[in-house]
Amino acid sequence: DVHLLESGGTFVRPGESLRLSCLASGFTFGAHVMNWVRLTPGQGLEWLSTIDESGHRTYYPDSVRGRFAAYRDNSRNLLFLQMNSLRAEDTAIYFCARANALDSWGQGTLVTVSS
């Protein structure tokens, strides 16, 4: 079975940085595009990034481009999201999801940004 497990979420102050991880199992990780998506109370789901199978190409929405960076380590089945200059509005549950169709999701990790 496909399994995705996010970690790294915690409480941080505005302006700080944080790195999230997503450990994949149950499938050939390096053969799939991967994504990060967040769920914000009252605002719903927001797509944050897509990274291709090799990790050479990444895509972001304007809202996080330049602050967030996705990368992956296919040898360890790991996906990462580096988040810099965090703001209160980045408070959310962060999910990793597989493939362009987002066909499998992890359970999410909570990031709280507050002064």
Partner 1 sequence: QSALTQPASVSGSPGQSITISCTGTSSDVGGYNYVSWYQQHPGKAPKLMIYDVSKRPSGLSNRFSGSKSGNTASLTISGLQAEDEADYYCNSYTRNTTVVFGGGTKLTVL
Q: Are 82 and 102 in contact (CB under 8 A)?
A: no
Written as six digits, the tokens of 105 are 């999701």
Binding residue (CB under 8 A) for partner 1 from 34, 50, 51, 94: 50
| C-beta of 84 vs 104, nearer to partner 1 | 104
> Shortest approach of partner 1 to residue 115 CB, angstroms?
27
Contact code string over 58-87 relative to partner 1, x by CB under 8 A: -xxxxx------------------------
> Rounded to whole angstroms, how far apart are CA atoms 110 and 93?
4
- Can you name the residues that pair with 16 across neighbouring β-strands? none
Written as six digits, the tokens of 67 are 């602050």
> Shortest approach of partner 1 to residue 13 CB, angstroms?
27
**Contact range with partner 1 by CB under 8 A, out of 11-19, 70-78, 82-90, 100-108:** 100-108
Provide the 3-class DSSP secondary structure of residue 29.
helix
